[in-house]
A and B are shown apart, each in its own frame.
Chain A
Amino acid sequence: MTAPSEQGRAGSRPSSTALIGTERVSLSHPEWAGAEIPPGTRRLPLISADAVRRPGVGHTRERLEALGRERASGVWTPEAAARRERGAEIRRETLKDMSGHLDRLCASLEANGAIVHRVSTPEQAREAVGQVARDHGVSLVAKSKSMATEEIHLTPYLNGLGIDVVETDLGEYIVQAAGQRPSHIVGPALHLSKDDVTHLFADLNGAPVSDRPDDLAAFARARLRADFKAAQMGICGVNFAAADTGTLVVVTNEGNADMVTSQPDVLVAVMPIEKVVPRLSDVGVLVPLLSDTANKQFVTTYQTWLSGPRDPDAGGDGPRELHVVIFDNGRSDVLGTPLEEVLCCIRCGNCQFACPVFRTMGGGHGYASIYGGPIGAVLSPVIGGHSADADLPFMSSLCGACADACPVKIPIPDLLVDLRNRYVEEHPRPVEDAGWRAWSLAWSTRVGYAASMIGARAASVVPGGILRRLPLVSTWASVRSLPSFTGAGAVRRAARKKDGHDR
């Protein structure tokens, strides 16, 4: 993150108003909660142990537990259950012909006048965005929330080109100003209290600010409004991209995506391949499904549809140029394997609220990866050959709460077990290495142990070698027969099929 220079502010190249004062920020955080995760500097079990003991974590844990009870109970009303079935079907239908849908999406986008950049790696994705910015002499970008841009480390890259990039979602703005990264997919600043935000904004302001949430929001609003107005380029994520019409759909409650996608002259939408859906009409199912699980709303306040650039001669607003960057980052490699189901994810964050391990650690920072929680423990090892994230699948009690809470019925525990198998095959001393440490950590504190115990049904699939080394669980472990380690994901899958679960 760059703090705006006095010269930049006064000159003709606009720079950020919202980021003024970031050099004064005193709110501290551990290295592994930072905006850029230090690559492999510290072992995951040690980081997660720190996360469990972090001062103030109890407060966050309570908030997450309350939110989990309210949102991620895994109980579906008949109406919601029907929508969930339909949503799960649409996502599987998408998987079956991912490359066909992507081809159709690209053709539709281009027919609408958008410029498509279909790339493979994060480097290529960043460079595509950077090139657009350079071509237009951009110095200030207003950005709406997007995990995809976190995944490709876009902001530091653009900063390196001398471009200010401002997060405009309130939670994202808070974590950006604090020099941290989001701790939850839909609640990026969930780990910070109102007092933390008050101190942070007072630092930015260089003077005290009121601690009322409305006043804090008004402070951010005024600063971000100046940036919406001055930004030459917008960057947004994409929730759903309809292949049949080339329409991009973005959901928010704040209206920041509407600002970002309609006021700057140039817009770049960034999406990983799995955001594609076959038909625009599918958002009639998927938007309510996402809104219900992410926010307990029937639909979010705003859904923004983007179908192309404006005609510069016709007046009105909207971008003159619409670029769409579609990246893969290793996802295509899992198509046709059991792991492909991770690409059904609609990023609702419900599995994170549901997860006892995620709550115990006070959010996603302790996973030391871009995507935390159950979805992160599956997605992170799958994308981009992140060997540093290979041990993330051990950060789970396999209690199954994530799968129950998932609106598109991703069997996350099965995938976690598959990935543990892969880890074991690829690492010489798995149990003593990451597995044992992560597991012993989970059971080494009273709260971690209690949280994990709610998932005692995991006993039937936990690798035996690991279980027998856990003194605290020996009583329940001893009364269960343990299946062979290899193929444990398949064992779970078969058992649930027998029980009449189709997935």
Chain B
Amino acid sequence: MTDELIERFRREAEANGTTVEVLSRDDLRARVRDLVGGRAALVDPIPLLQGVDLPAPPADPWDAEIGVSEAFVGAAESGTVVLPQRPDAPRRTSLLVNTHVVLLAREALLPTYQDAVDATAALRPRPIGVQFVSGHSRSGDIESAMIHGMHGPAELIVLVHP
């Protein structure tokens, strides 16, 4: 299913350098398996991925190459996904890896950035941290040249599902 809100999200996210794919639930499970492949992965426990055959996490999370998280909400206006930090959804999943994959449910996609802020502010119990992510890590500190993947991931992939 695709609609105006998803199209807006796609446009804004792609302008930030994010890859957006809209998939059915079955296709999404297969897509995550393919993306992870044989790579060292940090995958948060996500109900939708139950039963998908994924490798065990590396002994040292700093060795992970790919991370898979689920967004609490998204903001179409800014191409943003919102990731609360919880004991079973640690920040490292979205941070230590080179490629970050985020699952975003269509019903969690909100029109504006303000909507995402307000929904997240109302979240209880309040998570100890939240990360609002609108693209891959970057820097412009060397003569304004765009650098991809400064400290966080060099690649952000958002999989939108019904």
Contacts and interface: CB of A to CB of B under 8 A. Distances in A.
B121 interface: yes
Contacts of A262: 85, 90-92, 95, 129
Given A194-B143, A225-B151, A307 B129 contact: yes
B92 A299 contact: no
A454 interface: no
Interface of B: 12, 16, 62, 77-78, 80, 85-92, 94-95, 112-114, 117-118, 120-121, 126-145, 147-153
Contacts of B62: 225, 229
Contacts of A287: 113, 117
Nearest to B118: A281
B129 A261 contact: yes
B145 A213 contact: yes
Given A261-B129, A318-B85, A193 B143 contact: yes
29 contacts: A63-B144, A112-B126, A170-B142, A170-B147, A174-B142, A213-B142, A214-B148, A217-B142, A217-B147, A221-B149, A224-B151, A254-B150, A256-B151, A262-B91, A283-B117, A284-B117, A284-B118, A298-B12, A299-B134, A301-B135, A302-B137, A303-B131, A305-B129, A307-B127, A307-B128, A317-B91, A317-B92, A318-B128, A318-B129
Contacts of A259: 95, 151-152
Contacts of B126: 112, 245, 307-308
Interface string A240-262: 00000101000001111011011
Which 7 pairs, one residue from A and one from B, show the smallest C-beta to C-beta distance? A255-B152, A284-B114, A171-B141, A316-B87, A262-B91, A213-B145, A254-B150
A170 B143 contact: no
Given A168-B151, A171-B139, A301-B137, 8 more contacts: A216-B142, A255-B150, A256-B150, A285-B114, A299-B78, A302-B131, A304-B132, A316-B88
A89 to B, nearest CB: 15
Given A229-B62, A253-B139, A245 B151 contact: no
Contacts of A34: none
A92 interface: no
Given A259-B151, A317-B92, A301 B138 contact: yes
B95 A194 contact: no
Contacts of B95: 255, 258-259, 262
A303 B92 CA distance: 15
A63 B89 CA distance: 42
B133 to A, nearest CB: 6
Contacts of A406: none
A301 B134 contact: yes
Contacts of A189: 141-142
Contact of A280 (B90, B121, B127, B129): B121
A282 to B, nearest CB: 9
B76 to A, nearest CB: 11
Contacts of B143: 63, 193-194, 213
Q: Tell which of A194, A305, A307 has the most Cβ of chain B within 10 Å.
A: A305
A171 B143 CA distance: 10
Contacts of A187: 140-141
A285 B77 CA distance: 13
B147 A214 contact: yes
Contacts of A273: none
Contacts of B127: 307
B119 to A, nearest CB: 10
A67 B95 CA distance: 30
B142 A301 contact: no
Interface string A329-351: 00000000000000000000000
Contacts of A247: 121
Nearest to A244: B121
